Amino acid sequence: MKLQRFLRSGRSNKQESLFAVVKGITGFSPKDLSLYTRAFTHTSMEETDADGKKINYERLEFLGDAVLNTIVAAYLFRELPQNNEGSLTLMRSKIVRRDFLNQIGEGLGLIRHLSSNVPQKKYGPDVHGNLFEALVGAVYLDRGFDACSTFVYSRVITPYVDLSKLRNQVLSYKGLIVEWFQKKRLNFRYEVIDDSGAEKATYYKAKLWLDNKIIASARATNKKKAVEKVSKRAYFQFQHQIKTIQSKH
């Protein structure tokens, strides 16, 4: 008990705070706080260690992405023994997709603990997922694969992954409708034009042509979103005919 008090007294208030944050998020006591300091440090801080190496979350994000994919792959391998490689890959991509990881990171409030010289309002939504991946990387290095798996299960798989619902989830409406058009050997094309008009914000309008007829149109703030939106609208026009393809996704 005296030794524990001594060790605690040797930490700064900042370290104590980080210790409590990590324990609250992961459920265990961190061993190497420097890993978590790195996981919560933005590149804009321009910090370096004694060897001149940059201190920020980017390398941990890279590692965390790989570890997270491995944990999810192992989970799917056990839970879906009848699925082939292609199906397992698709299911994994549905779990580790960027928007889902952003939701996880945002729900955990990770950005509140980020050291940065950039105003929070200037971050894109991906910062939440990036921080979560960096945290996964830090946990893996600090506590090993088994503890990291426990963390991922508790924060991702157990509360949010429903395999029965995931089977019917569409990752890309464009990919699905293009595949169907190609299988049917239909003549189609996308058309995307600037549709900002007098508005200050930039907008794009996407049109989907089938033969010589526009079957759907949609508007969004970037080209990719506009194309996905128009594909989704077209999909719902043909969904009963696409069921055989959708069941594979």
> Is residue 198's pLDDT more than 90?
no
The predicted structure's pLDDT at residue 107: 95
- The mean per-residue pLDDT over the stretch 185-198 comes to 87
Task: Note the pLDDT tens digit of each residue in 134-175.
Answer: 999 999 999 999 999 999 999 999 999 999 888 878 878 888
The predicted structure's pLDDT at residue 12: 65
The predicted structure's pLDDT at residue 14: 78
Query: Confidence class of residue 244 from pLDDT cuts 50, 70 and 90?
Result: low
The predicted structure's pLDDT at residue 128: 96
Domains of the chain plus CATH, in order, are 2-166 (1.10.1520.10), 173-246 (3.30.160.20)
Q: How far apart are CA 171 and CA 177, in angstroms?
A: 12
Question: Considering the chain, what percentage of its residues have pLDDT values greater than 70?
Answer: 91
Query: Confidence class of residue 3 from pLDDT cuts 50, 70 and 90?
Result: very low
Average pLDDT taken over every residue of the chain: 88
Q: How far apart are CA 70 and CA 77, in angstroms?
A: 10
Active site residues: 65, 133
Could you tell me the CA-to-CA distances from 171 to 9, 45, 87 in Å, in that order?
50, 35, 13
Query: Confidence class of residue 6 from pLDDT cuts 50, 70 and 90?
Result: very low
> Is residue 97's pLDDT more than 60?
yes
Q: What is the pTM of this model?
A: 0.73
Query: Confidence class of residue 243 from pLDDT cuts 50, 70 and 90?
Result: low
Query: Confidence class of residue 4 from pLDDT cuts 50, 70 and 90?
Result: very low
Range 217-224 contact pairs with CB under 8 angstroms and sequence separation of 24 or more: 219/195, 223/192
| HEC assignment per residue over 186-241 | CCEEEEEEECCCCCCCCCEEEEEEECCEEEEEEEECCHHHHHHHHHHHHHHHHHHH
The predicted structure's pLDDT at residue 54: 86
Task: Note the pLDDT tens digit of each residue in 13-65.
Answer: 778 899 999 999 999 999 999 999 999 999 888 888 788 888 899 999 999 99
Please state the φ and ψ torsions of residue 214, each to the nearest 5 degrees.
-80, 120
Q: Residue 224 is encoded by which pair of tokens?
A: 């990719």
Task: Note the pLDDT tens digit of each residue in 71-89.
Answer: 999 999 999 999 999 889 9
**Residue 62 β-bridge partners:** none
Using alpha carbons only, what angle is made at residue 232 by residues 231 and 238, rounded to the nearest 5 degrees?
Answer: 90
Could you tell me the CA-to-CA distances from 158 to 27, 130, 167, 224, 249 in Å, in that order?
15, 21, 17, 32, 22
Sheet of 204-210: strand order equals 188-194, 204-210, 213-220
Query: Confidence class of residue 66 from pLDDT cuts 50, 70 and 90?
Result: very high
Name residue, tokens 């996981």: 39
CB 58 within 8 A of CB 47: no
CB 11 within 8 A of CB 19: yes
The predicted structure's pLDDT at residue 141: 98
